[in-house]
Amino acid sequence: MALTLKQQLSSPGGILKFLVKYNTIFIFIVLVIFSALISDVFLTSVNLSNLLKQVSGLGIISIGMLIVILTGGIDLSVGSMVALLAVIFALLVNMVILPVAILLTIIIGFSLGSVSGYLVAYQKMAPFVATLALMTIARGLGFIYSKGSPITFKTPGGEFMSNFANNSTLGIPNIAIVFFIIVIMTMVMLRYNVFGRLIIAIGSNEEASRLSGIKVNKYKFLVYAISGALAATAAIIVASRTNLGSPNMGMAWELDAIAAVVIGGASLNGGRGTAINTLMGVLILGLIGNILNLLNVPSYPQQVVKGVIIIFAVLLQRFESK
Amino acid sequence: MKTSESEYRVEMTGISKCFGVVKVLENVNIKVKPGEIHALLGENGAGKSTLIKILSGVHPKDSGKIVLNGKEINPKNPHEGQVLGISVVYQELSLVNDLSVAENIYLHKLGSRKFWMNWKKITQDAQELIDSLGFKIDASAKVRSLSIVQKQVVEIAKALSEDTKVLVLDEPTTVFDPTDIKKLFENLFKLKEKGISIIYISHHLDEIFKIADSVTVLRDGVDTGSMAVSDTNKDGVIRLMIGRELKDLFPVRDVKIGEVPILEVKNLTAKNTLVHDVSFSVRPGEVLGIAGLGGSGRTETAKLIFGADKKKSGTLILNGKEIKTKSPVDAAGHQIGFVSEDRKEEGVFLPLSIRRNISVTNFDSISSKLGFINVDNEYKKVLGLIEKLNIKTPNSEINVKNLSGGNQQKVALAKWLSIDSKVIFIDEPTRGVDVGAKIEIYKLINEVAKKGVGVVVISSDMPEIMGISDRILVMHKGTFYGELQKDQFSEENILRYSIGEPLKQ
Ligand SMILES: Nc1ncnc2c1ncn2[C@@H]1O[C@H](COP(=O)(O)OP(=O)(O)OP(=O)(O)O)[C@@H](O)[C@H]1O
Ligand SMILES: [Mg+2]
């Protein structure tokens, strides 16, 4: 084989390249060190476990967002879906036994996601438009079903969930464990499973995928459905933490989820992104909020800082792709 | 400003370039006089396109000197190169699909001149330009609607402007049929007379000996010197390129062709393209060539059978059973394969690694029932194919967009030729592939046929289609005009059928 391109082991700027390549993890570590230095509360287990609890819900929908974005799409409905599904879960918890409530909520999430998926994959609607419509529909339904006010858990099942959501196992909050399991499953799926490989292929060149005999529509449909199911999972977690389902939950979460995915280096054009980096993106967003809270920075400056970090992260990535 | 008496229009001396740790060019020199056509040759991945991109300002050079008209230049981006009079037709098409032909042709001139554009005049000018080149394309049509041949013509038109001093063409004819090539050459001779320097890259050595005055051969990023074309010949150039003699470009075929057709196509007519009343059959083990002029409907026929275009009527019979191919998914399910001529848009996944590209069609053989991939098997398969097709790359994890054009083509082929098919359509199999690698691809096609696959090859390359086919069907205006048996193969016969004339008796 004519391998003339000799791979040299070391090259000048190797370390810099490494940092650029793994910039999300790098930013994360820098932020952790920085936070630990400026606040002595930061590294306490109470604070860290709070931080993890806060990001888990957002984290789960961010994973859904990631797999949608990998195909070159976007799912704007996830925030409202969390609200609607939290309301539905609260209603169900008060009506049927817990396993059924959980299962039904996830099935409903999957079905609602399927509606977006159907519109995008089979009706060729732009993902932005289809999911924007779903976003307002879900929010509206949330208010209708809850009659505008939060619905509290009233059954032993609800109590069980609320205990589960607020407790830890081996020092890690249970809901963070759920989130991490989802991250790991997604990681494995994207690397070692045909489904993951195919959605990445579709996102990087849809026409070539079609002509490779890939069922492009089926996979595009499925990613939205899965995103819906993950929104349901997030909704269950978020509702359980507060012991209620409210139509005001998940406000603008779709934007945070997109931000997390983008900070994690995924391309909005599709075909590029990993679960581990999205996890980093979620943690970075959570960290920023956490440390600014600890420093008593009000919420408006927090938003500014968040925006600046997003720009910074994406600029670093452009540097990488050169 | 210093002007020297150098007889050269453009001189690149001592050019070196690395991509990361990979050394692509080392101390390369090339000099072109005004009114000269200079051929740049070399194997896939030798560094031809990279050298050109350094000249035009796409890539910065690591070291070396570029002198244009006696003055050193350092274009930092393609726009600067253009302003200096360096126009390039790149190997990969770079048109904006949603703009019109005229808009594309004048796109790069926007920013520089006035604020308002007179689009009507621009469309007229573009039309005149295309007409003067001798091609038929509507300047107001959207680029998306053009065939790949027409897109290539638009690229060429785009590169021509009144201030062009150096024109570079990086494999401009890979999709052209002989008549298109002839037209292009006439145009190049006209430009040459005007004193424009032309650098011409091609793997079709016949073309080089028809038009070039001098030639530089690159080998693994090093130039082996320049010479006048009259001082060398095809074998000499090949020896410089690949370091050995090449015996038979077309390997001998000793395949037994089955009696019963594996695929029969009857009266196939397309809904949205010019293809109509197409009937033919291909037998297991047979290599069936489809020839014809650009735009005659060859690609469209393959796409129609593959389910990528919509059918109006007609039947497909696979192994004696009627099948329906409403989509490529159906076709692939029936083990029908299709390698597109448009590798960038329809063939490969540019941002993904070679491994991920090849695996896409291979999951059946490398994954479990639940869809989990056996990564060891995956590597084995992919590395085997990289070696077999001689894909020039440090490893299987390189993104396809960082491969040279010819090596990208090999990846596109590897995707399909590595799986079990019953029938496979290959549209321009060796587009942009060097002479040495062509042989490997022909061997592979033979190997595939030997397994009892019906191979349908569409090609504009006359020697190729005659060299590898058992039988040739010639398309004319959307349907088959005639069929040639092996003893009837000749360029003349193919051309006659292509333009809708009977053979000479
Ligand atoms: N952007 C890039 N990043 C990294 N490597 C690159 C890049 N572009 C090209 N290369 C590598 O540089 C080498 C030379 O590529 P180049 O495209 O110049 O070859 P070429 O002579 O034009 O080949 P072909 O005949 O196949 O078009 C190849 O090994 C290719 O993989
Ligand atoms: Mg090239």
Longest CA–CA separation in chain B, Å: 76
CA–CA gap between residue A306 and residue A289 (Å, rounded): 8
Alpha carbon A126 to chain centroid distance?
A: 21
Residue A247: per-residue pLDDT: 95
Contact A250, A81 (CB under 8 A): yes
Contact A164, A240 (CB under 8 A): yes
Q: How far is CA A297 from CA A38, A289, A294, A313, B412, in A?
A: 13, 9, 8, 22, 55
Residue B115: per-residue pLDDT: 61
- B263-348+422-498: same fold as B10-242? yes
State the ligand closest to the CA atom of B42: 1
Domain boundaries, given as residue ranges, for chain B? 10-242, 263-348+422-498
- Minimum mean pLDDT among A279-288, B117-126, B338-347, B475-484: which range? B117-126
Q: Count of CB contacts below 8 A, A vs B?
A: 103
B359 lines ligand 1 (CB under 6 A): no
How does residue A26 score in pLDDT terms, banded at 50, 70 and 90? confident
**Helix ranges, B34-176 (H):** 48-56, 78-83, 101-106, 119-133, 148-159
Task: Choose the mutation target among A3, A211, A268 for the interface with B, i.e. most B CBs under 10 Å.
Answer: A211
CA–CA gap between residue B264 and residue B282 (Å, rounded): 7
Nearest to B9 by CA among B198, B170, B209: B198
Both tokens assigned to B259? 């009696």
Spatial CB neighbours of B328, under 8 Å, sequence gap ≥ 6: A210, A211, A212, A213, B306, B307, B308, B338
pLDDT digits (tens, 9 = 90+) for A101-112: 999 999 999 999
Contact B155, B95 (CB under 8 A): yes
B25 lines ligand 1 (CB under 6 A): no
Both tokens assigned to B13? 């001396």
How does residue A15 score in pLDDT terms, banded at 50, 70 and 90? low
Q: Say if residue A210's pLDDT is above 80.
A: yes
Contact B84, B71 (CB under 8 A): no
Contact B470, B281 (CB under 8 A): no
How does residue A188 score in pLDDT terms, banded at 50, 70 and 90? very high
- Minimum mean pLDDT among A24-28, B50-54, B285-289, B365-369: which range? A24-28
Please give the distance, rounded to the nearest whole angstrom, from the Cα atom of residue B47 to the centre of ligand 1: 6
Q: Say if residue A22's pLDDT is above 60.
A: yes
Which of B392, B402, B408, B409 should be mutated for ligand 1, with most atoms under 8 A from CB? B402
How does residue B116 score in pLDDT terms, banded at 50, 70 and 90? low
Residue B113: per-residue pLDDT: 57
pLDDT digits (tens, 9 = 90+) for A48-88: 999 999 999 999 999 999 999 999 999 999 999 999 999 99
CA–CA gap between residue B120 and residue A251 (Å, rounded): 50
ipTM: 0.83
Distance (Å) from the C-alpha of residue B183 to the closest C-alpha of chain A? 31
Inter-chain CB proximity A197 and B359 less than 8 Å: yes
Record the pTM: 0.85
B367 vs A contacts (CB less than 8 Å)? 193-194
- Minimum mean pLDDT among A190-199, B249-258, B374-383, B401-410: which range? B249-258
Domain boundaries, given as residue ranges, for chain A? 46-320
Q: Say if residue B332's pLDDT is above 70.
A: yes
Helix (H, G, I), strand (E, B), or coil: what is residue A75? coil
Both tokens assigned to B160? 């021509």
Please give the distance, rounded to the nearest whole angstrom, from the Cα atom of residue B33 to the centre of ligand 2: 23
B119 lines ligand 1 (CB under 6 A): no
A200 vs B contacts (CB less than 8 Å)? 352, 356
- Minimum mean pLDDT among A123-137, A181-195, A295-309, B269-283: which range? A295-309
Task: Write down the CATH superfamily of domain B263-348+422-498.
Answer: P-loop containing nucleotide triphosphate hydrolases (3.40.50.300)
CATH says B10-242 is which class? alpha beta
Q: Say if residue B52's pLDDT is above 90.
A: yes
Residue A5: per-residue pLDDT: 34
Mean pLDDT of A131-158: 94
Atom 9 of ligand 1: nearest residue by CA position: B402
Spatial CB neighbours of B168, under 8 Å, sequence gap ≥ 6: B52, B55, B56, B86, B87, B88, B89, B198, B199, B200, B201
Q: Say if residue A7's pLDDT is above 50.
A: no
Q: What is the average pLDDT score of chain B?
A: 90
CATH architecture, domain A46-320: Orthogonal Bundle (1.10)
Q: Say if residue B88's pLDDT is above 50.
A: yes
Distance (Å) from the C-alpha of residue A17 to the closest C-alpha of chain B? 10
Please give the distance, rounded to the nearest whole angstrom, from the Cα atom of residue B351 to the centre of ligand 2: 18
Residue A55: per-residue pLDDT: 95
Mean pLDDT of B16-20: 91
Residues in chain A: 322
Residue A306: per-residue pLDDT: 82
A4 vs B contacts (CB less than 8 Å)? 220-221, 392
